[in-house]
Amino acid sequence: MESKKLKKGSKLLSYVLRHAPEVIGLTLDTQGWALVSDIVKLTERGNTKLTRQMIEYIVANNDKQRFSFDDSGKKIRANQGHSITVDLGLEAQVPPEVLYHGTASHHLRHILKDGLAKKNRHHVHLTKDDTTATVVGQRHGKVVILKVDSLAMYNDGYLFYVSSNGVWLTDHVPTEFIEVVSQSNTI
């Protein structure tokens, strides 16, 4: 499959499963699941056509493992990152001692003032390693890596969840639990 076509398909799948299913006339259930056959049918006439084979390839080869099929293989959903209301059915878990967050340096002043906020998403996204945080942060500009004292947060009553692709989620990270560990330029 052509990589340009796959990239375009992955972006469309991410957009409709995480943010705007209505742009193609798709309906998600309360847990964020959609029928693969509906996605295929609804994209047939659009600029980006998604076939069952293409969707399977995207799910299997997405480096961030953004999507999952249900046990039957008939439904698909995004693992996290929704700006629309869905219930992923995640249960609170004890996080590792520290987690990391990668962001662009131009966000640092605001973060050090107000902490990490979920903004228009369901949760703040954190990772167990600084390498992944670096990759995520680089998408947005000059990268800053933040270390989060997640276990201390948990002990103070903050809840943490882990998505099926290993991304740690929480509602907010107050500044007192954040340490800047790496930045590619000054504030």
State the pLDDT at residue 154: 97
pTM: 0.72
DSSP class of 182: E
Q: How far is CA 95 from the centre of its chain?
A: 17
Pairing type for strands 172-173 and 116-117 reads: antiparallel
State the pLDDT at residue 186: 41
Count the alpha carbons within 13 Å of 75 in the hemisphere toward its beta carbon. Answer: 15
Could you give the domains of the chain? 3-78 (1.10.10.970), 99-183 (3.20.170.30)
State the pLDDT at residue 87: 85
Mean pLDDT, 10 residues at a time, over the chain (187 residues)? 85 94 95 96 90 94 86 93 85 96 92 89 88 84 94 97 90 96 62
Q: How far is CA 98 from the centre of its chain?
A: 19
Are 106 and 141 in contact by the 8 Å Cβ rule? The answer is yes
State the pLDDT at residue 132: 85
Q: Give the helix/strand (H/E) hosting 137.
A: helix 130-138
State the pLDDT at residue 1: 61
State the pLDDT at residue 184: 62
CA gyration radius, the chain: 18
